Structure 1
Amino acid sequence: MTSSAERRLREILAKVLLLDDSEINDELSRDDVEEWDSLAHLMLINEVESAFQVTFGDEDILSIRTVGDLKRVLKRLGVNI
């Protein structure tokens, strides 16, 4: 079952990276998505921070290469995803 937090994250990923929901999985990486460039990465971080009321550290921002990485950081920051 997908949590509301996971659904919200998928919505953000789809919107920012111009993806269909069916394309999103934990293994999806910056290397797989042409639109996931540095500007899109910062837009994604901003949207996620706003949606989940969290703040990513610089190291977190740089370490996120996949959707799974993003979820792990959110979990560490207390988001039930």
Structure 2
Amino acid sequence: MIVVTHLNGSQFAINPDLIEKIHANPDTTLSMVDGSFVIVCEPLEDVIEIIRGYRASVLRMAWDLADTPQPVAKLAAIPRHPAGK
């Protein structure tokens, strides 16, 4: 989620993967994939940079997780019964 600002000054978080287009006309308008629109205070370039930073942080976290050994769950062995018993 990225944090942007409504025209009234209140901040809110929005999923950048649901943004289809960003217009600057003159207010920055986020066109969402569901057809709705959100007008924000941040300039178009800033919104793009915020999204870029968000995506870079997601990739960084994934990279860090790949470098960290994950605990392996130990499975209990099921004892085998001798054949015929």
Q: What is the TM-score when the length of structure 2 is the normalising length?
A: 0.29
Larger radius of gyration: 2
- From the two aligned structures, give the one with the greater helix fraction: 1
- From the two aligned structures, give the one with the greater strand fraction: 2
Q: What is the TM-score when the length of structure 1 is the normalising length?
A: 0.30
